[in-house]
Amino acid sequence: MAASRVGAIIVAAGSSRRMAGADKLWLDLGGAPLLARTIAAIVAGCDDLIQLVVVAGPESIERAAGLRHCAPWSSVDRWVAGGETRQDSVYCGLQALDPCDIVLIHDGARPLVSAGMIARGLAVARAHGSALATIPVTDTIKVVDEIGRVSATPRRSSLHAAQTPQIFAWEPLVDAYSRAGSGRASCTDDAEIIELAGYPVYTYLGDRLNIKVTTPDDVAVVRALWHGHCELGS
Count each helix (H run) and each strand (E run) in the chain, helices first. 7, 11
H or E segment and range at residue 165: strand 160-169
Q: For residues 185 and 142, give the distance between their C-alpha atoms in angstroms, rounded to a whole number.
A: 26
Let me know how long the chain is.
234
Q: For residues 84 and 196, give the distance between their C-alpha atoms in angstroms, rounded to a whole number.
A: 21
Q: Are the beta carbons of 80 and 55 closer than 8 angstroms?
A: yes
Assess if residue 163 is contained within a domain: yes
Q: Quote the number of domains for the chain.
A: 1
Predicted confidence (pLDDT) per residue in 147-157, tens digit = 999 999 999 99
Q: Are the beta carbons of 38 and 113 closer than 8 angstroms?
A: yes
Predicted confidence (pLDDT) per residue in 132-188, tens digit = 999 999 999 999 999 999 999 999 999 999 999 999 999 999 999 999 988 898 899
Q: For residues 36 and 223, give the distance between their C-alpha atoms in angstroms, rounded to a whole number.
A: 14
Cut 0.85: pTM above it: yes
Percent of the chain residues past pLDDT 70, beyond the cut:
93
- The residue that leads in pLDDT, 49 or 68, is 49
Whether 234 shows a pLDDT value over 50: the answer reads no
CATH code assigned at 196: 3.90.550.10
Assess if residue 25 is contained within a domain: yes
Residue 184's domain spans which residues? Answer: 6-233
Whether 3 shows a pLDDT value over 80: the answer reads no
Q: Residue 122: name the closest of 170, 167, 171 by CA.
A: 167
Determine the distance from the C-alpha atom of residue 131 to the mean position of all C-alpha atoms in its chain, rounded to a whole number. 12
